[in-house]
Chain A
Amino acid sequence: MPVSPIARDLETALRRLEERYPGPFPVDRAPRALEEASLPTGIDRLDALLPGGGLPRGALIELSGAPSSGKTSLTLALIAAAQRRAESVAYVDPERSFFAPSAQAAGIDLEQLLLVRPTPRSAPRSSRARRPDTLAGFRVIDHLLRSKWFSLLVLDLGGPFRPPPLDRLFRISRLARVGETVTLLLTETDALRPSLGSPVSLRLTVTRTGFRFTPKALSPFALGGLRVRVAVRKSKFGPAGGPGNEVSLDLLPDAVA
């Protein structure tokens, strides 16, 4: 597992202190903080695919997939995994498509999640007049990154969106690196389309390979689960699974619709 330079220097300093003052060392060495340069996804097969055994901290990551590819389900699972490690998470939702019952079913602690739904103040308050303002979403991400508080930030760009200026993306990429924040951009494009560009350090694509439709006479639910394939399309972090490698995952049936 890769270790950041700061963690390496700190480890060296601690070792010297321990050599100088032998015996029980009264300082919490916080091994988790020292060793982890990645945020594990909680899905072993996916972690094995990712560089560093998880989502690299400080990386701008694009997770893309066509509608109904399973990318939202995967994202909610990533948030739940981060929360189980007591990491702080914010979800920026300009499209207003976040559905709390689904999030709870995925294991997310809703009380610990910051949900931001930016709507310009000049816009009418009636919900029908709201349009997803993805550029406002990028502004929110910019502010949240500068707070250096969150470990995982998700910007759900939803359907067709206006890509932000490249300098804005570079700025976000730099802020993510400085704050060691995993910044996940959720885009609704298929694997063949180009990504958001060079500021993105890691690009994952989600493709649905199958689903089950199992209507039962007495059940109101028909969707019996999805099978999805997650592939690494681009990685600036060197090989783990490496670009081109992929993993297949099964999603359980929807439990709330």
Chain B
Amino acid sequence: MPGNSNTSGTNGSVVPPARTACAFIPRFPVALQIRDDPSLEQVPFAVAPGQARRDRVTALSNRARAAGVKIGMTTVQALSACSELRLLSPRPGQAERAALELLEALQTVSPAVEPAGDAGSGLFYLDPRGLSRVHGDEPRLLSRVVDALKEVGFRQVRAAVAGTRFAAFAAVICGERNLTVVPDGEQREFLAPLPLELLPLSASDRERLHALGLKTIGDFAALPAPSVEVRYGAAGIHAHRLARGLSSDLLTRMPETELFEETFELELRVADRLLLMPILETLLGRLLLRLDGRGILLMVAEFLLDDDQVVEAAAEPAAPCTDPRTLLTLLALEIDRLRFSAPVVETSLRVVSATPKTREQGRLFARRQRDADRMRRTLARLQALFGKQALSHPGLRASHRPEARTVEDPAACVASPSAPYGSGNSGGSGGELVTSLRLFDPPRAARVRLESGRIHSFSFSGQESLRVRLRFGPRRISSGWWERPFDRDYFQIATADQGLYWLFRDRIANRWYVHGLFD
């Protein structure tokens, strides 16, 4: 049984107990910014994906938190809460590069290291078995882990070792001290008082458990396994095994990392960026040779300027790419957008992320051969031309505000290269002809003429006045404190010229808008 103390193997030899160590950098995005710029410790700052008004804060420093800024605020809201706030956006490849450094540091402690989740999680697992002769007992091993991460520049580090991966994870999150050793076989007792939220359960399952009066992992572990399986399915029984300190999760050893970087020191100062492209082409050629067929996912060009400033340009193809022309085109598009304050004195090109190139089996006698790589290159090119936000999978969000009901998930275009658009899944289940709405986003301001309190005619977008033939409404939609307040009366309108419009009156600003057209 995993997690139990020493057991005998089939040949009578003693099998070492399953142990997993976990290292965690709390609030990794904030810690990363402070590491890269220590002066940030003295100012309130927040991290957001971009600087646009609608971008939302994803992480913030203690000073920003004390000033009233909260995670999830838009950048505008955050700046109004704290006028001194510095808004930072992660540089391309910044988190990946830091994760690589951390991995390398941890590999000096244990040969088997596995990052958890994406590069921005700041969470790593290590295999501590068989290292006692090198590092001593488990507390000393954890101290060595912490020292290794501090050497990379992260000051606050938590580490734990336990009999299962989940117990080690719970220990770094909820442990009372920065270093926690959960003795072998005691993980269930350690987990018992911890909150249920740590378990990988869906929000609805968690609510149901709370409604039953279960608050801790121990409460959940005490439930009979067959009942958990009946009520919560496979996910429930997996969580139940974790809660009981049992887990079959194995550590996946990371392959040895290699730094793919080429640098070119210029003999002359180069001010014309066109002259940089042949240099980049040479550097890319060298890197591709070293990559030996592996496709590039993220590549960063760094330019050291004569005034000691560093400018970066990233090329991020939608799928692993080995085509130098595509990569250089993407890089050139990014470089075009850069501003150089001084001539370039040194250029370097670094591959941040590369994986084995995916290949697809062609189909015999298909209507036509579709080249998935080609499609992904097209998407990458379109993203470079129009921005990442331009390409998306639409999705739905529950919101009273009609314009907020459509969400765009730009990452999905890149994140699902194995199943892109119509590669086998069938479509939705509807198939009926329903009247659709064309939404105007943003709503178009309208001039409305009322007669006896009813809409008589209206005009918008410089068009002629449209006389109303039939109207229905109002249907009131409003919101409360949880989002930007709005209060609207919606009307469905049929005009004399056959148009079917969706109008609303903004009750707060007392203005009229056309929000869409039934078409």
Using a CB–CB cutoff of 8 Å, the interface residues on chain A facing chain B are 7, 10, 14, 27-30, 33-34, 36, 42-43, 65-74, 76-77, 80-90, 96-121, 125-128, 136, 139-140, 143-144, 146-151, 158-159, 179-180, 208, 211, 213, 215, 220-223, 225-226, 249-257
Say yes or no: B365 contacts A10, CB within 8 Å: yes
With contact pairs A102-B434, A114-B413, A115-B392 given, residues A143 and B408 touching in the complex (Cβ less than 8 Å): no
Q: Flag if A115 contacts B394 (CB, 8 Å).
A: yes
| With A103-B394, A110-B394: A121-B387 Cβ-Cβ less than 8 Å | yes
Q: Does B502 contact A (CB under 8 A)?
A: yes
The answer to whether A100 and B52 have CB atoms under 8 Å apart is no
B71 in the interface, Cβ–Cβ < 8 Å? no
Q: Does B337 contact A (CB under 8 A)?
A: yes
Q: Chain B residues near A113: list those with CB within 8 A.
A: 393-394, 421
Cα A81 to Cα B402 in complex, Å, equals: 26
Report whether A213 and B494 are in contact in the complex, using a CB–CB cutoff of 8 Å: yes
Interface hub of B366, B379, B428, B500 (most chain A Cβ within 10 A): B428
Binding site for A on B (CB under 8 A): 52-54, 337, 363-368, 370-372, 374-375, 377-379, 381-382, 385-387, 389-396, 402, 405-408, 412-413, 420-442, 461, 470, 472-473, 475, 490, 492, 494, 498-502, 516-519
With A72-B519, A97-B440, A102-B436 in contact, do A112 and B425 touch (Cβ < 8 Å)? yes
Instruction: Give Cα A115–Cα B391 distance, bound, in whole angstroms.
Output: 6
Q: Which residues of B contact A144 (CB under 8 A)?
A: 378, 382
Q: How far is the CA of A12 from the CA of B143 in the complex (A)?
A: 74
| A149 touches which of B52, B370, B498 (Cβ 8 Å) | B370
Q: Report Cα–Cα, A82/B498, bound state, in Å.
A: 30
Q: Which of B52, B370, B412 has the largest count of A CB atoms less than 10 A from its CB?
A: B370
Residue of A nearest to B372 (CB): A149
Is the Cβ of B437 less than 8 Å from the Cβ of A257?
yes
**A-B pairs, 9 with minimum CB distance:** A107-B430, A83-B427, A88-B422, A222-B472, A33-B367, A149-B375, A147-B378, A100-B406, A102-B436
Give the complex CA separation of A103 and B393 in angstroms: 12
Residue of B nearest to A124 (CB): B52
Q: Do B427 and A80 touch across chains, with their CB atoms under 8 A apart?
A: yes
Of the A-B pairs whose beta carbons lie under 8 Å apart in the complex, a sample of 23, sorted by A's number, is: A27-B365, A30-B365, A30-B366, A68-B501, A73-B436, A84-B431, A90-B421, A107-B427, A107-B432, A111-B412, A115-B391, A117-B390, A118-B390, A119-B389, A121-B385, A140-B382, A143-B381, A150-B422, A179-B368, A213-B494, A222-B473, A250-B433, A253-B435
Task: Name 7 extra pairs, CB < 8 A, besides A106-B436, A180-B367.
Answer: A81-B431, A88-B420, A89-B421, A97-B440, A114-B393, A118-B386, A128-B442
* Docked pose: A250 CA to B434 CA in angstroms: 9
Residues on the B chain within 8 Å of A72, using CB: 436, 438, 519
Name the A residues within 8 Å of B434 (CB-CB).
73, 76, 102, 105-106, 251-255
- In the complex the two chains form, is A208's CB within 8 Å of B365's CB? no
Q: Which residue of chain B is the closest to A103 with respect to CB atoms?
A: B394
With A80-B427, A115-B394 known as contacts, the answer to whether A147 contacts B375 (CB < 8 A) is: yes
Nearest-Cβ distance from residue B103 to partner chain A, whole angstroms? 33
User: Is the Cβ of A106 less than 8 Å from the Cβ of B430?
Assistant: yes
> Across the two chains, which residue of chain A brings its CB closest to B470?
A213
User: In the complex, which of the residues B365, B372, B422 contacts A83, with contact meaning CB atoms closer than 8 Å?
Assistant: B422
- How far is it, in angstroms, between the C-alpha of A136 and the C-alpha of B382 when the chains are bound? 11
Contact A108 B378 (CB under 8 A): no
Look across to chain A and name the residue whose beta carbon is closest to the beta carbon of B409.
A111
Q: Which residues of B contact A80 (CB under 8 A)?
A: 427-428, 430-431
Minimum CB distance partner of B406 in chain A: A100
Residues in A whose Cβ lies below 8 Å from that of B427? 80-86, 107-109, 112
Which chain A residues border B470 with CB–CB below 8 Å? 213
Partner pick for A254 among B405, B428, B436, CB 8 A cutoff: B436
Q: Which residues of A contact B366 (CB under 8 A)?
A: 30, 33
Q: How far is the CB of B458 from chain A (nearest CB, A)?
A: 14
B407 touches which of A100, A125, A148 (Cβ 8 Å): A100
Cα separation A221 to B445 with both chains bound (whole Å)? 23
Taking the nearest CB of chain A, how far is it from the CB of B333, in angstroms?
Answer: 9
- Given A98-B394, A119-B387, A121-B386 in contact, is the A88-B433 Cβ separation under 8 Å? no
Question: In the complex, A215→B428 CA distance in Å?
Answer: 30
What residue of chain B has the Cβ atom nearest to residue A208's Cβ? B498
Point out the residue from A86, A99, A149 that lies within 8 Å of B439, measured CB to CB: A99
A110 touches B395 (CB 8 A): yes
Are A251 and B435 in contact (CB-based, < 8 A)? yes
For A28, A97, A143, the residue with the greatest tally of chain B CB atoms inside 10 Å of its CB is A97
- With contacts A33-B366, A98-B394, A143-B378 taken as known, whether A254 is within 8 angstroms of B441 at the C-beta atoms is no
B374 — which chain A residues lie within 8 A by C-beta?
147-149
Distance from A227 Cβ to chain B, minimum over Cβ atoms (Å) = 11
Please indicate the chain A residues that have their CB under 8 angstroms from the CB of B433 in the complex: 43, 73-74, 77, 106, 249-252
For B412, what are the chain A residues with a Cβ–Cβ distance below 8 Å?
Answer: 111
Given contact pairs A98-B394, A115-B408, A215 touches B472 in the complex (Cβ within 8 A) = yes
Give the complex CA separation of A65 and B440 in angstroms: 18
Inter-chain contacts of B423 with A (CB < 8 A): 86, 88
A24 to chain B: closest CB distance in Å?
16
CB neighbours of B365 from chain A (8 A): 10, 14, 27-30, 33-34
- The chain A residue sitting closest to B469, CB to CB, is A213
When C-beta atoms are compared, the residue in chain B nearest to A228 turns out to be B433
CB atoms of B428 and A116 under 8 A apart: no
Cα of A102 to Cα of B406 in the assembled complex, Å: 10
A164 to chain B, nearest CB (A): 17
Q: Complex Cα distance A180/B371, Å?
A: 14
**B514: min CB distance to chain A, Å:** 11
Nearest A residue to B477 via CB reads: A220
Alpha-carbon distance A232/B52, docked complex (angstroms)? 46
Q: How far is the CA of A222 from the CA of B500 in the complex (A)?
A: 11
Looking at A42, A82, A117, the one whose CB has the most chain B CB atoms below 10 A away is: A117
Contact of B519 among A73, A83, A109 (CB under 8 A): A73
